[in-house]
Structure 1
Amino acid sequence: MPTPDDVYRAAPPAEPDAAQHRTRTRAWVARAWSEVWRLGAAFAFSVVVVGAVGWEADTGQRQITPDQLALDLLVGLVALGLVLLRRRAPTTIALLLSAATAVSTFAVGPTTLAVVSLSTRRGWWRIVLVGLVFSAAGWTYGQLYPSVDPMSTLVELVGSVVVYALLVWIGAYIGLRREHLRSLHERVATAEREQASRVAEARANERARIAREMHDVLAHRMSLVAMHAGALAYRTDLPPEQVAESAALVRDSAHEALGELREVLGVLRGLDGPSSDDEATGQPAPEGPQPTLADLPELVRSASEAGTAVRLAADSVYLASLPTAVSRTVYRIIQEALTNVRKHAPEQPATVELRGARGRGLWITVTNPTVAERLPVAGRDVAPAAPPSGLGLIGLSERTDLAGGSLSAGESDGRFVMQAWLPWDP
């Protein structure tokens, strides 16, 4: 029986991704084609120059022997091979090919290609050095293959300088254009990276917002469940009627927590678009819980039923005239503050105070007596407090910061005071 290692060794190697293979093939073909047409252009230019020199030799205007013409062609073919190395050693190849034009007109085409390639890098001292060799090679060619016209040497020297300057200008233009295109590609890549970073940041912020929403929604309900369940577990002296009432409160609180969790999950599903079930039924996805101060009396009632007596000191104007976003934030702050009271100071009363004015801002103050140690009551144990998550005050600080406000919390004179300020635009 073959072992897993034998099966692994017998398995064929994974084929590369087809798209990447096509991309590499296209890139290789593009590079090969760019090299072929440049060599073809250099060869054609060399043929034209050799043809002109051969015409001068046939008409007697220049003294060239057949052996010299053969040497010209041989050096030119070597130059065509050397020009392939111009990208690895641009200065050296340009110097060698420029020197080769002293004995070979067929090397003019490869030399032209090498000079243009060198000029694209715009290393000016290298360009000047190659230019001196290029001009000296042109003068040397005039001395080795003299023309019958005595002025032809001076004309060829001036012409070589002008031609070299033209080649440098062409190469510098190509180099600048390449740099410009490269900068555009870098800008596009940078913009794409920044866009991806902004999308990732927005996604992280949205996840953090949903996490805060889930914490605020579920912590309130689950603290009620923990409170009543703890009472049932540790209060063995309760009459059957009170046990049934507490069990019903646990059941109702659990159902409400599940319902609110379902709504939050609906928000999460809405981030990726409607689900197939929503499309099939034609019903919109459930919206997330968005309570406001209009729901504050219900929050106070549920907290009182859980054993935390809440005294609300607020004018009814706050329940109606606040902007929706501010009202929602105030509700969440009070909800989380009462949840913390149940966790850290169970069965202690809490005071919620709202004060402020339009244009000056709104202050939310929640206070409760601190509890140093929970002492057992005679004849029964004390239910443990709900475990702290360590995220309550952090979430409240983040929520108030996002709303443009501030939050402070701490103990003072035996009471724990949490105070938040939110802007209230006129």
Structure 2
Amino acid sequence: MTRTHRQNRITDLVALVLSLLAGLLFAADAVDSGREGHPAAFAAALAASAAGCAALWWRREHPVGVALFILPIAALAEYVGAASVVALFTVAVHRPWRTTLLMSAAYLASGVPYAVLWPDPDVAAAGAGVLGQIVFNLVFGVVLMSPFVAWGMVIRARREVVASLRDRAERAEAEAALRAEQIRSREREHIAREMHDVLAHRITLLSLHAGALEVRPDMAADQIAATAGTIRSSAHQALEDLREILGVLRPGGESSTRPQPGIGDIAGLAAEAAGAGAAVELDDRLADPGDAPSSTSRTAFRVVQEGLTNARKHAPGRCARVLLDLPEDGELLVRVTNPLGDPGAAPAAPGARSGLVGLTERVQLTGGRIDYGARRRRDGGIEFRLEARLPWPS
């Protein structure tokens, strides 16, 4: 848990007050032992030490600055000793280890002038000279400061670990959100492709019905009315499909809830094409189409739909034959064939020449195979064959 600003201020105030109390205790001990020196120097040392303790209030914002401010005071007076420890601890918590070690070395070096100015009576009584005083002060400083410096560095390392884990968690959350958005985007694109095929199929039917009205002006009134009704219904459905495609592709759009057609809808697809005036022969040899996997079923429908759409576009008036079979090899065979139209005749509707490319990708994504192209028949004629083999687990 992160500490609040109020908690930090209370901690700083406690450190400041304890440092002042420790300074007063050191001062009282100096007076008792007669080491306070000249009254003016003693008063100046107390004032400087109080200023050094007060500087701890800004130790979090300026840890190195506060430590440098206290450093010369610590070299001349012992009353700021507790504040020196707090300042070093703060540097260890908030600054890199190199800065901490340099500041620790500076504070150890400040013990040299202090040992010269204020030699310890007990050390002097033991017969140690100035060098002994300096060594004593250095050893005492290392023993005193090391635990606090080490504690501060441990706290800093722990905070870095916690910050790193928090950063990792935030990145992982952001990456998860990005992956989810990518999945939703791919799903919207997939649904849009499915609906694009349906839209192309309906527009082709519109073209056929409109062409029938154009070439048969002598049709009976009821036939004209029925054809016009079919055109109106197909146009309405095409508009609904287009509106749904735009809704799916729009950022943040909802996925389509419309049930996707499958093998069971191929008969209706063939009947719809036949009702539009196209010649279609369906040879369904499947015993139970409901056993097909959902992806295989949808892809089989799209293969037949693309084959019939291409037959109406590029070979109008020719019979398209659809075969659904499940041979011994355990793969669903979907085949659509139609004789090629007159090379000089214009197609019934223009094509973008991307339907078969998209269909190939769809079949490969389901783990199937696809083959298409013009073939010579046994009777010498040429037909276009679209054949897909889709997985059908036993």
Instruction: Report the TM-score when normalising by structure 2.
Output: 0.78
For structure 1, the residue ranges without an aligned partner over 5 or more in a row are: 1-26, 270-274, 276-285, 376-381
Bigger mean CA offset, 154-163 vs 164-173 = 154-163
| Equivalent-residue separation in structure 2 for 1:64 and 1:390 (angstroms) | 102
| Partners of 1:373 and 1:87 in 2: CA distance | 86
Select which of 344, 354, 358 maps to 2:324.
354
Deviation readout 1:137-170 (Å, 9 max, x if unpaired): 2343243233432269566543321222112211
1:103 to 72, 76, 94: 76
Q: Within 1, Cα distance between the matches of 2:141 and 2:329?
A: 81
Distance 1:261 1:292, change over 3 A: farther
C-alpha contact (below 8 Å) 2:52/2:70 kept by paired residues: yes
1:160–1:355 distance in 2 versus 1, CA, 3 Å: same
Residue 45 of structure 2 is aligned to residue 72 of structure 1: yes
Deviations 1:280-325 (A, max 9, x none): xxxxxx9623333223222222223334322334413263543444
Q: Is the 8 A contact 2:20 2:50 kept in 1?
A: no
The 1-side partners of 2:271 and 2:210 are apart by 19
2:171 is the counterpart of 1:198: no
The alpha carbon displacement at 1:362 in A equals 1.9
- Partners of 1:264 and 1:358 lie apart in 2 by 41
Q: CA RMSD in A?
A: 3.8
Instruction: State the match for 2:355 in structure 1.
Output: 392
Q: Distance in 2 between matches of 1:108 and 1:254?
A: 95
Alpha-carbon displacement from aligned partner over 1:169-219 (angstroms, at most 9, x marks no partner): 111111112112212221221122122113212321231232123223332
Q: Pick one of 222, 228, 232 that aligns with 2:203.
A: 222
| C-alpha displacement of 1:80 | 5.4
Paired residues of 1:349 and 1:369 also in contact (CA < 8 A)? yes
Q: Partners of 2:330 and 2:71 in 1: how far apart?
A: 82
Match status 1:422 vs 2:385:
no
Question: Does the C-alpha gap of structure 1 residues 263 and 220 become closer, same or farther in structure 2, counting only changes over 3 Å?
Answer: closer
Q: Distance in 1 between matches of 2:13 and 2:210?
A: 89
Report the Cα distance in structure 2 between the residues aligned to 1:174 and 1:167, rounded to whole angstroms: 11
Instruction: State the identity as a percent.
Output: 32
Matched, 1:240 2:240: no
Aligned partners of 1:261, 1:225: CA distance in 2, in Å? Answer: 12
In structure 2, the gaps of 5 or more residues are 126-132, 249-253, 377-381
Are 1:61 and 1:147, in contact at CA under 8 Å, matched by a contact in 2? no
1:249 aligns with 2:222: no
Q: 1:369 to 1:97 in 2, by over 3 A?
A: farther
Looking at structure 1, the residues matched to 23 and 328 of structure 2 have their Cα atoms a distance apart, in angstroms, of 92
Q: Please give the alpha-carbon distance, in whole angstroms, between the structure 1 residues aligned to 2:145 and 2:277.
A: 95
Deviations 1:220-264 (A, max 9, x none): 22311221112323x1x54222x7425513423542664687699
Q: Deviations over 1:382-421 (max 9, x none)?
A: 7x63232455234423432442324344445554333323
Secondary structure, in 3 states, of the residue corresponding to 1:98? helix
* Count of equivalent residues: 373
Q: Quick one: which of 296, 301, 305 aligns to 2:271?
A: 301
**Matched residues in 2 for 1:38 and 1:200: separation?**
45
Could you tell me which residue of structure 2 aligns to residue 52 of structure 1? 25
Whether 1:176 aligns to 2:157 is yes
Indicate if the aligned counterparts of 2:325 and 2:333 stay in contact, CA closer than 8 A: yes
CA–CA distance in 2 between the matches of 1:57 and 1:324?
Answer: 92
Task: Give the whole-Å Cα distance in 1 for the aligned partners of 2:73 and 2:324.
Answer: 93
Q: Taking structure 1 as the reference length, what is the TM-score of the superposition?
A: 0.73
2:386 is paired with a residue whose SS is strand
State the partner residue of 1:149.
122
Which residue identity does 2:207 align to in structure 1? A
Deviation for aligned residue 1:56: 1.2
Post-superposition Cα deviations, 1:311-348, rounded to whole Å, max 9, x if no partner, equal 33441326354344422331222112212222233223
**1:7-406 equivalences in 2 (<5 Å):** 30-31=4-5, 33=6, 36-60=9-33, 62-76=35-49, 78-79=51-52, 94-95=67-68, 97-120=70-93, 123-150=96-123, 153=133, 156-233=137-214, 235=215, 238-241=217-220, 244-245=222-223, 247-252=225-230, 254-255=232-233, 258=236, 288-317=258-287, 319-357=289-327, 360-371=330-341, 373-375=343-345, 385-389=348-352, 391-406=354-369
Decide whether the 8 Å contact of 1:266 with 1:287 is kept in 2.
Answer: no
